[in-house]
Structure 1
Amino acid sequence: MAKIGYFLSSEQFGPKELVDQAKRAEAAGFESLWISDHFHPWNDEQGQSPFVWSVIGALSEATSLPVSTAVTCPTVRIHPAIIAQAAATAAVQLDGKFVLGVGSGEALNEHILGDPWPSVGVRQEMLEEAVDVIRLLHRGDEVSHHGLHYEVQEARIYTRPEQPVPIYVSGFGPQGAELAGRIGDGFTLAMPDAELVQTFRTSGGGDKPVQAGTKVTWDRDADKALEIAHRLWGNEGLPGQTAQILPRPKDFGALMDLVPKDAVEESIACGADADKHAAQVRKYIDADIDEVYVQQIGPDMDGFFSAWESDVLPQLRG
């Protein structure tokens, strides 16, 4: 049976709100937590970007649920040796119930220090080396690494969990899914794409876990719910490599009017119809995804958690 977790959006909510949502999610019967790692929101309407590692520390004291990052880019903005230390500490705080989800990143978050934004192939090459560096450091030995992209000099991580931190790799196309299958302890994606899951499994992933995130807008007024979803997350409907190459939230905001509302309505369940919400999650389960993480976009958290506890989660587990 698929695991149903809650998706904490660091682009849309501040740190105290995220911790409150995590506590509500646990009380409502969600089984685990996903949390995004962003320096910027996708657009100014979303309006937040707390430092994920601080929030994870707070989550470890506020709930008993497992936590995965979805996802951290360990290649440009933060050196993989620092991510290795952060992930090891998070795993200790969470008693080993932590997954480091990693990806090749977006210019939106990674351009901020003035580094050049590499091509897709180079970004994936950097990601593979970064994962190697993190795993070396998680063994607990002193590490010196002289690679194509990264240098590590006589570094050792002392605060570590008993078991190495699992590293799940994100991928949004065949090349990314193949890389995840080859180097990942699991796979992370953002759409119910059975072909990508199959590529991951046949590229070495086998029966390793697959995680995916999805968004809904629970509101008693379905039209209002759609307006909220379009205004806050219309950027997800932009085509091609837009999400990877635009540098500023205002650039996404300027293009979001190009995404029609009906396109948002097709991908985000809007309103209070429990069957519609459950059907959206089933698309992911039917794509052979093991863990589905759901984000509530709208402001009615009371309504969302109450409805999912009583009407949606029982359907998905029945």
Structure 2
Amino acid sequence: MPVQFGYTLMTEQAGPKDLVKYAVDAEAAGFDFEVCSDHYFPWLSAQGHAPYAWTVLGAVAHATNNVELMTYVTCPSMRYHPAIVAQKAATMQIMSDGRFTLGLGSGENVNEHVVGERWPSVDERHAMLAEAIGVIRSLHSGEMVDHRGEYFQVDSARVWDLPEDGVPIGVAVSGPKGIDTFGPLADHLIATEPNRHLVAAWNDNPDTGTIGEQARAIGQIPICWDQDRSQAVERAHDQFRWFAGGWDVNADLRTTAGFAAATKFVTPDDVADSIPCGPDLDQIVDGIRRYWEAGFTDIALVQIGGDSQDSFLRDVAPTLLQKLRDASSEAH
């Protein structure tokens, strides 16, 4: 199975009309799939955007033809009730003619606090997500659903417009415990780090499909291409230094001010050590390589900087994609 390479519609760094344009251009450049972040806040104020992901995805479904689409990721337990996620995921699958995958996760405080609920512990968030997936699966059966659970209530709900082949679900996990909980509930693995042990744990679980056959392992990596490496590093530091905090920290911070404070001691060199920056495409390929070496089947790229997308997609992406495909095919 060839490794697939995706483009990230980063809602935190571009407005809705630009995102649709980038989606069209990314398909033309040769990306296999596109993932869309689902945020109410950007991570840092310097990013400057946060349009509603599902409206963007609906427009992208009509503006593109073949590229696969995915949420990366939606939290179906606080800002959205799982019954609503079930409805809009089904609609997206119909509008995209079967190109949509519902990517789910347990959420981050920066997005979910806006509805005024307390921020649960990680164990409680995982329990909420597991119950939410059950609700979504039930509604995607087409039956009338009544549900009285620990966290959610559903009264006489039915999704009336359903795609013929259902909606595949990917779930973000970070360790074996998450795989034990969500592997049996999901079709695909989503992870933010190139951890080969995660892929191995997924494959070793008797209740999951095998990665590369029935299941996909979908990862994401930020890059910052620019003709001037110093400008690339500066831009990555300005807009993506939050990435250095790790998800244990990122999940709990509440506002962009919190992320700014938490990352004030992160230096440009720190960012450059973790994010491939500059004009050297071979260096970028080497930074991405660790994902397919870890067993990931799908790798989504984030090109940092809203103002850099046009030149990246026009001048760089086709060549970079060819280099990535050549390198990953050699490895396999």
Q: Shorter-normalised TM-score: what interval? A: over 0.9
1:1-318 paired onto structure 2 within 5 Å: 1-64=2-65, 65-203=67-205, 204-205=207-208, 206-207=210-211, 208-239=215-246, 241-298=248-305, 299-318=307-326
Contact (CA 8 Å) 1:219, 1:303: kept in 2 or not? no
- Which structure 1 residue ranges, 5 or more long, are not aligned? none
Percent identity, aligned pairs only, is 39
Contact (CA 8 Å) 2:110, 2:252: kept in 1 or not? yes
Distance in 1, matches of 2:178 and 2:48, equals 29
Contact (CA 8 Å) 1:180, 1:200: kept in 2 or not? no
Distance in 2, matches of 1:38 and 1:300, equals 21
Amino acid of the structure 1 residue aligned with 2:293? D
Which sits farther off after the overlay, 203-212 or 161-170? Answer: 203-212
Contact (CA 8 Å) 1:180, 1:186: kept in 2 or not? no
Q: TM-score scaled by structure 2?
A: 0.92
Distance in 1, matches of 2:90 and 2:277, equals 38
Contact (CA 8 Å) 1:103, 1:127: kept in 2 or not? yes
Q: TM-score scaled by structure 1?
A: 0.96
Tell me by how many angstroms 1:254 deviates: 1.7
Which sits farther off after the overlay, 236-245 or 132-141? Answer: 236-245
Tell me by how many angstroms 1:211 deviates: 0.5
Tell me by how many angstroms 1:311 deviates: 2.6
The alignment of Structure 1 onto Structure 2 pairs a total of residues equal to 318
Distance in 2, matches of 1:309 and 1:12, equals 18
Assess, with a 3 A threshold, how the Cα gap between structure 1 residues 177 and 261 changes in structure 2: closer, same or farther. farther
Distance in 2, matches of 1:231 and 1:282, equals 25
Matched residue, 2:329: none
Distance in 1, matches of 2:135 and 2:221, equals 30
Matched residue, 2:330: none
Tell me by how many angstroms 1:310 deviates: 4.2
Distance in 2, matches of 1:31 and 1:116, equals 39
Alignment partner of 1:294: what SS? Answer: strand
Tell me by how many angstroms 1:307 deviates: 4.4
Distance in 2, matches of 1:309 and 1:116, equals 42
Alignment partner of 1:300: what SS? Answer: helix
